[in-house]
Structure formats: C-alpha cells, structure tokens
Chain A
C-alpha cells in the first residue's frame, strides 16, 4: 500500500524469496490474531493455565523478550556513558531490537491479564511495595525513552523530509542521548532484576525464595541481549547483501557477551551449590524430588540451560577459531536465546509445579500441577513471533538503522 506511494528506486526488492518471507510472517500474524480473538472473547479458560499453575508460556515470553531487549540499554550505556564511540554504529539497531522486545512483552501481557480493559490500573492505583507495579512503571518509562532515542531514526525516513523542523527537533533530542542512556541504564537495572525478584521475594516458594534470583536475571539479560543484536546485524547483512556493522565491532560485542555468559554460569553454579546443595532445606529437597520425578527438570537445566544456553555460545563467542566466523556468532546467539527462554520457562513453571505445604499434619499438601500450553497459547506465541519478525523486517528494510548519521550530522552543524 504505502510502497505504491513511495518512490521505489529498486522495484526488485519484492523478490520471490522476500514475498515468501512476508507470506510466512503474515501467516504467523493471522494465527496470532485468531488466537487473540479467541482469548479476548472466551477468556483465559482457553488456556491450559490453572489455579495451581496460574502463569505459563506467556509469562515466559514476557520475561524472555524483555531480557532479549537488554541489548538496547547495555549498548547505549557503552556508547554514551562509557564513551566508547566505536560502538556507535550498532546503537540504532540495538534500540530497535529493544523496542521490538518490549512491545512484544506488553502485547503478551495484555493477553495474559484477566482484565485487559484495566491495563492502565498500575499507573493510577499505586502499590509501591509491589515489584510488579515497579516493573510495569519501568517498562513503560523505558519504552518511552527508547522511543525518544529512536525518533531521529524515524524522522530520517524520506517521508519526513517535508517537515524539516520536525527533523531538526528530533535531532536536537539526540543531544540528550547520554541522559537517555543514563535513565535507560538505571531503569533497566531496576526492572530487569525485579523480574527475577518477582519470583525471588516469595517466601513460601522453596525453589524461588533466594537473593540470587534478581542477579541471575539481570546478568543473563545483559549477556544475551547484545548477542542477539549481533546476530540480527549479521543476518541483516546476509539478507540485504550490504554491510551493516563492522565485523570487528560485532566480534567485540560477542566477546563481551561470552564473558557475560561465563559470569552468569559462575553465579548459577554458586547458586546451585549454596541453595540446592549445601543450604538445602527439607522443602527444597522435596521440591527437587517432585520436579525430577514429574518433569524433565534435570535435562532442562543441565542440557538446555547450561550446555546449549551457556557453554556452547560462550565457546563460540570467546574462541578466535569460531568468533571470526559470523555463522558461529549467529548460531551461538540463537543457542543463548534458547537458553534464556528455557531458563525463564524453568523458573516459572517449575516453581509453580512444586506443591505448597501448610497443613500442621504430615501428608496434606496442595496437588503438584502439570502444565503444557494449549493450542491458543501457542497461537499467541506464534503471533508474537510474527509481530517481532514483521517489525524487524520492516525496520531493516525501510529504516536507516545503519546510516552513520553521526558523521553527516557533524558535517551539517
């Protein structure tokens, strides 16, 4: 539609491959829309969530996409606060990926709450003691900051050439980039860790209640978010056939992610030893017994979270043999993403599977829950993925994400 109105320099962008890709993305979106209609009209009864396991796949998506959006604040802070200007060329992409991740999380959240019509309540009715209230505020504020950071990129589109005043205004906003980076860093440090605290503060849940929860959440997010940005930069380069970001920059960021993953592994190891081995309480023991009996908890933890999610990407990112080859960086980033998603799933569903015990007797405890997402829940997940892919496709196709306008701007002024 809009493409007809735009002066198309190269009509050949609609290659059969690109059309097929758009058809695939469109299919994902249709599946998502159908599922969303189902959820909104019939309520959450169409999900397989229950009073025993009230959170499931959608919370996993929320947590994962926010963690994967962490490249935005990390790389903004590196460029505008640590003043490492070399990395300037990836900031636009990182903020864009962050924006996609955060909006995807909000869309899923709208599906997940029982009363979507009351989504605005946390902004009006405050409970300052609630980490979820703080998270809602931080996510909204940070989304606004990312929009402000990103406005100059949008107004750089040819479409906005007709309003030079607007363009000038948004570029003057860019002078506040260090302030945005500082605010973004502070707010992200808050909510990325509070997402872990959501679980970590619950006294009655034996495998959640530990101070390491927020730390593991934020370290993993800071490690994997930038790696995803690197992977997207490489994939964009393959698809577009034009260079995006210098490869040595991408490799340096991948190495940063590799060290981040090692730090994550280190904290995870001590968490395992301190909480689950040396500091185990009868409740923790019983919880792991139930989990290992009823779910593939050990496999999920050791194989998916540790080996696929941490060790393989760390090797790919850190050893020169692999990190000079983009294909391995992309593969490593995808493995790390799988690890993050598996971790968020394991945390959420495993913690809820463990039955509560509160009777003064010895036998009674609430039943251990079982959960596997329903078709509609998967449909929403597919739709969210379609949304992310659509935004990334459009952004990489039409937005000047890799124009190094810093230089042109400098010349202009």
Chain B
C-alpha cells in the first residue's frame, strides 16, 4: 500500500475535490435516474399529470401487451443473430489480419474499421439508399443481370435480415480490433510447439487458439450483446420499426410509449424488463464462458 496520506488537510480533502465533479454528474444523471426509473415503473406517470402509485399494474398490463411481446421477441431474434454472426465474421477478419506477416496488414485493419467510425444514423441512411426497392443500386444490379428486385426493407422478414446484415457490416471492424489484440496475446511458442508435434491447422485452432481466446471472445460477446439490446438509431432510420411491427425493437417501443404516448410509468416498466434481459444474458454468458482460468 502506498503511504502518502499523512492526515494533512489538503491531502485528505484533495481526492474528494478531484472526485466531486464526477460524483455529482454520476449521481444526478445516472444513479438518481436509475432509482427513479425503478420507482416510476410502479406509477402512472405523464409529463402533465400528477404521478399516481399503482403497484404492479404496469407489469400486469405489460404481460398481456402483444405489441410489447412482439418487440421483445424481435429484440431476441435480432440480438441472437447479430451477436453470433458478428463473432464469426469479426473472428474471421482477425484471423486474416493478426499475424503481422503480410504486406498491407495495417491498411486492411484500418479499412475494415472504417464502418465503425460512422454514426448509426449515417450507416442507416447509406444502406437505405443502397437497398431501396426501386432506386437502390443492389436491386438495379439484380435487374440488370436478369433477376428481379428484392424488397429488402419492405418485406417483414427480409427487413429484419437487412437490419441484421447492416448491423454486422457496421460493427464487425470494432470487434475485429479487440480480437486481434486477443490473438496477438497468445504466446507464439505454443504454435511452434504444435507445428513441431505435427498438429493440423484445424487441430491448432481448436486446441490452442479458441481456448486461449476465450476471455476475449467473452468480452466481444458481452459488448455486442449489450449493443444489440440498445439498438435504436439504425432501425429508426432504415425501417422505423416496420413494415408493421416486423423490425420494431424494445427501445423503439419504450421511446414511443414514453415520449409520444406520454405514458412514462408504463414505459419505465418496459425499461425494467429490458434491463433484466440484459443482465440475464450477460450473467449467463459469464457463467458459461468465464468459468475456466485463462493462461494469459
């Protein structure tokens, strides 16, 4: 332990003063709202009406709210596909680019990272332009080559596929960087030993790379899962949740109920459910993946 606090007033007060701005902002804009949100979920609360405590009524209503459950299942579907495909694709990119042996590796890394720089709003605009039914370039090319256009954003199932695809395109580069760092942390001697033992590439991958990459993969999985449950911008630009409710996710529904329908108590109950799912997913991922010790 360090021993540089000697009871001197300045040295006792200083850390508190240094922490003060942070704690104030944290407290006022994260901690207090988090508690407030929990409280609100048990009330009927509109901007212009007096809040009224109604017990579990919001949650009871929520249980029978078909629109909410539709957005709930959409969110789960979106999350499962986005997270698993991002992990596969980002890992593939990382495996192609972590060795520092081929020319132009750094440039390729930067190129793959570029979509992660863009805001989800601009990503959504770009892809809406590209995937447009009549005027989008993809359908244009399909028609040119003798096919017919595909309703990328106007058919319910396809719209979900498009959103998932664009989410992967937009985020894979970011997770690739994390995975490259993880791959580079694996000691080279292990690979050399495997080569001497005559292990095949597949065997090396499953016996060395994957197990040693476990904790990095866990980080990627947790981060991308949380990101997928928070998704909002992309959908609001590309499909507005439609057609119908086909691509509407929980956050969209929370926003609409809270700010457009002015039912803030009810929307808070939805937020609590969202927070619960995020926590459960994260905990499960830690449990399944984080158990064994790493060699790093």
- A is bound by B: no
